[in-house]
Amino acid sequence: GEDVEQSLFLSVREGDSSVINCTYTDSSSTYLYWYKQEPGAGLQLLTYIFSNMDMKQDQRLTVLLNKKDKHLSLRIADTQTGDSAIYFCAELLMDSSYKLIFGSGTRLLVRP
């Protein structure tokens, strides 16, 4: 079945790097996403990676994909207090459903 798992909470100091991890189970996934949700807001797409890639970098964000282990990570360099939010990992199923399956979300707290 489809399942996406994340740890629920991460706390880092301002200026440090944050690494948020995610595992998924469905081998038919092709796109994997990271969304950010700030308090009281909807979800905002941060970045995504196609399953034939193993790394994608976008300014302070680095996404690593280990397809063999079905493991995805999001690294935020020089984490700022404005990065405090919930981060959701999601996979797009490329079977007939085209469903997005979300993880439970990781709450990132950035301490001054």
Partner 1 sequence: DVKVTQSSRYLVKRTGEKVFLECVQDMDHENMFWYRQDPGLGLRLIYFSYDVKMKEKGDIPEGYSVSREKKERFSLILESASTNQTSMYLCASSLRARTEAFFGQGTRLTVV
The reply on whether position 10 binds partner 1 by CB under 8 A is: no
Query: Which has the closest alpha carbon to 56: 71, 73, 69, 78?
Result: 73
Q: Does 103 bind partner 1 (CB under 8 A)?
A: yes
If one asks whether residue 66 binds partner 1 (CB under 8 A), the answer comes out as no
15-52 burial, b for 16+ CB within 10 Å, e for fewer? Answer: eeebebbbbbebeebeebbbbbeeeeeebeebbbbebe
Residues 73-102 that bind partner 1 (CB under 8 A): 88, 90, 92, 97-102
Closer CB to partner 1, residue 17 or residue 44?
44
**Angle at the Cα of 59 from the Cα atoms of 53 and 62, rounded to 5 degrees:** 40
Does 45 sit near partner 1 (CB under 8 A)? Answer: yes
Binding-site ranges for partner 1 (CB under 8 A): 4, 6, 8, 31, 33, 35, 40-45, 48, 88, 90, 92, 97-105
